[in-house]
Each structure stands twice: as structure tokens, then as C-alpha cells.
């Protein structure tokens, strides 16, 4: 028997066509970890209003970012898995998606045949129920012998890489503001004790501690990708961009530490929609710090983190 490592990312539609996007959104937005509203109330809204209206529009966005190899998120996750597999030749290293293919349950069921211990590593640095809840529930339902990495925002090696990326981008131009933009979550989750905002602010601070030359008064932590009418964690990125221009700050650098791979949120929402908002408001330079993607340093970090997790023990049983 051998040790196993399962890297898990969010997932992507099977194709950028409307039918596949609708299937993906239906699965994603039916997860009780993402939508806490009772199913009897939420499902009629989802099926009757949201899916008919959102599927086509989201499909056009996916078509903008799709590559010849497929979804960028899937492509980078696969490349990352290949890197880590080469670094851990005696391990069974696989990847899976919370929604879509390859599925968590099927992948873990196969891994159980050869693995006596499996490290489950969600590719989300900061813990939140809305990402980790579905992953952990699906994984534990298989009965696989799991050791779960619940977050890694605080790991020095991860913060070193992130700080290096921000430093390099910041040195390339004269920026008026540096925004650390994280995927938002509903404020109701925060009120129920979700640690996500605290971990996001700690991530920003961890980077600032490593960049003493970055003026602290230029830095803000913001949130993006709000969904639906309910209040989500603020301040919102889009509103902040418009406010910065009003203050005469027209050159902005944006880091997105909650996304380890380019995806719809970074490539379409930020580089297209938020850039257009910024430019229309009078902004000049709008630059993104690339996510980790297939940076070899990140692959080495994940391999070391898996080994550390296994050495520390801490099994999580269904």
C-alpha cells in the first residue's frame, strides 16, 4: 500500500456550451454548503429563474476564456498535479473537482484500492464552508482513510511565493493602490462563525510582513464575485475600483490570493468586466498579479505540505 494525495479544485463545465454550463451551475448552486437557503424555497428559484437566465450568459463568458486544451482551471490543476506527482514518485497523486469531472467520490474510490492513507488537499488557501464543506462531505462519504488539509494561508512557504509574485508585479510600474481581492462569501456565513474573512486579512498581512517596501497605505483587502441579492462580505472590488478613481488613484495592481489558478473570476470577471468598469470610470493602468497556476514553486510547496500533513497524522473519518 502507498500514500495518496488528492488535490481538489472547484470544477468547470464540461464545455462552454449552454447545456453543459446549465448542468454545472445546477450542481454547484444546489450544494447546501454554497446556498444555505432551504431547498424547498431555493430550488424553485434556481430552476425557474436563475438557471434559465444565467446559463446562457455564463456560457458566453466561458467561451471567452476557453482554450484549445479546455477550461483554464482544469488545465492548470492538471499541470499542477503532474508536477506534484513527479515530486512524490512513491505516492498516488490525483486531482478531482468538487463539481464536474473528475469527480471526488469516483477518484477516491479508485485510490482506496492502493492507498492506506490519503491526504485531501483542497486548493483553497483560506477555509470557508462554501468551498471546503462540499469537498469534505463528498470525500468523507466514500469512507476513505483521509487526512484533511483545511487551509494553508498561514504556511510560510506559501506566503513567500505569494509575496514574491506581488513584489515582482509591483516593481513593474508606479501603482497608486494595491488590492488583495478574495472571493466573497455571504455575510450570513460569517455571522455563523465562518473564519474566512479573518484568514483573508491574515493572508494580506502575511504578504505585507514580507514586503516592507510596499507602502501600507496603498494596500486594501477587498472581495469579489458576489452572487444574488443577499449581502456578502465587503468591501466589493468593483465599488472600490470606482472609488479609487474618484480619489485620483488611476493605477491599480490586483492580487487574487483565494484563486490558485486562472478561472472565470480572474480571466473574465476581473480582466474584462472589472477592467471595463475601472476604465469607464477614468482609470488608467489595471494590472493583475497572476495566480499560482503551474508555478513550480507552488508544486514544490504542495508536495511538501502533503508530506507534512501525513507526518503529523490527524485522520478524519466519516
The string of pLDDT tens digits covering residues 104-117 is 999 999 999 999 99
Closest Cα partner for 139 from 163, 115, 122? 122
Helix/strand/coil for 81: helix
Extract the C-alpha cell encoding 196. Answer: 474566512
The string of pLDDT tens digits covering residues 162-185 is 999 999 999 999 999 999 999 999
Contacts of 188 (CB under 8 A, 6+ apart): 36, 230
Tell me the pLDDT of the chain averaged across its residues. Answer: 95
How much is the pLDDT for 315?
56
183 known member of a binding site: yes
Burial label for 215, CB within 10 Å (0-12, 13-18, 19+), is exposed
132 known member of a binding site: no
How much is the pLDDT for 316?
59
Cα(first)–Cα(last) distance of the chain, in Å? 21
Mean pLDDT of 16-33: 91
The string of pLDDT tens digits covering residues 48-104 is 888 998 999 999 999 999 999 999 999 999 999 999 999 999 999 999 999 999 999
The β-bridge partners of 122 are: 8
Across the chain, the runs of DSSP E, i.e. the strands, are 2-11, 92-99, 115-122, 146-148, 177-183, 219-224, 251-255, 285-288
Q: Which domains does the chain have, with CATH numbers?
A: 2-152+296-312 (3.40.50.1400), 156-288 (3.40.50.1400)
Q: What pTM does this model have?
A: 0.95
Q: Using CA atoms, how far apart are residues 65 and 37, in angstroms rounded to an integer?
A: 31
Contacts of 70 (CB under 8 A, 6+ apart): 12
* Cα pseudo-dihedral 122, 125, 131, 135, rounded to 10: 20
The string of pLDDT tens digits covering residues 196-236 is 999 999 999 999 999 999 999 999 999 999 987 789 999 99
pLDDT value at 41 more than 50: yes
Closest Cα partner for 222 from 233, 207, 231? 233
pLDDT value at 318 more than 60: no
Amino acid at each position: 500500500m502507498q500514500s495518496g494525495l488528492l488535490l481538489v479544485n472547484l470544477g468547470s463545465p464540461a464545455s462552454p456550451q449552454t447545456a453543459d454550463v446549465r448542468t454545472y451551475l445546477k450542481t454547484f448552486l444546489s450544494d447546501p454548503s454554497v446556498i444555505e437557503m432551504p431547498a424547498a424555497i431555493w430550488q424553485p428559484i434556481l430552476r425557474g429563474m436563475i438557471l434559465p437566465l444565467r446559463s446562457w450568459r455564463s456560457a458566453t463568458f466561458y467561451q471567452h476564456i476557453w482554450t484549445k486544451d479546455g477550461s483554464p482551471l482544469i488545465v492548470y490543476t492538471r499541470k499542477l498535479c503532474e508536477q506534484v506527482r513527479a515530486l512524490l514518485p512513491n505516492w498516488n497523486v490525483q486531482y478531482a473537482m468538487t463539481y464536474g469531472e473528475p469527480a471526488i467520490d469516483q477518484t477516491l474510490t479508485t485510490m482506496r484500492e492502493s492507498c492506506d492513507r490519503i491526504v485531501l488537499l483542497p486548493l483553497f488557501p483560506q477555509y470557508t464552508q462554501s468551498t471546503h464543506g462540499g469537498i469534505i462531505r463528498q470525500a468523507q462519504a466514500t469512507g476513505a482513510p483521509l487526512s484533511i488539509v483545511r487551509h494553508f494561508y498561514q504556511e510560510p512557504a506559501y506566503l513567500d511565493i505569494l509575496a514574491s509574485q506581488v513584489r515582482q508585479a509591483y516593481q513593474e510600474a508606479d501603482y497608486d493602490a494595491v488590492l488583495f481581492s478574495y472571493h466573497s462569501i455571504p455575510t450570513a456565513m460569517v455571522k455563523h462563525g465562518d473564519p474566512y474573512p479573518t484568514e483573508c486579512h491574515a493572508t494580506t498581512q502575511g504578504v505585507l510582513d514580507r514586503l516592507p517596501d510596499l507602502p501600507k497605505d496603498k494596500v486594501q483587502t477587498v472581495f469579489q464575485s458576489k452572487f444574488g441579492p443577499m449581502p456578502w462580505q465587503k468591501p466589493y472590488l468593483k465599488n472600490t475600483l470606482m472609488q479609487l478613481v474618484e480619489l485620483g488613484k488611476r493605477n491599480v495592481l490586483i492580487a487574487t490570493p483565494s484563486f490558485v489558478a486562472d478561472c472565470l473570476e480572474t480571466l473574465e470577471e476581473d480582466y474584462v468586466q472589472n477592467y471595463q468598469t475601472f476604465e469607464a470610470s477614468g482609470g488608467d493602468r489595471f494590472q493583475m498579479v497572476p495566480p499560482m497556476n503551474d508555478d513550480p514553486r507552488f508544486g514544490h510547496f504542495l508536495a511538501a505540505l502533503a508530506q507534512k500533513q501525513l507526518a503529523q497524522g490527524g485522520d478524519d473519518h466519516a
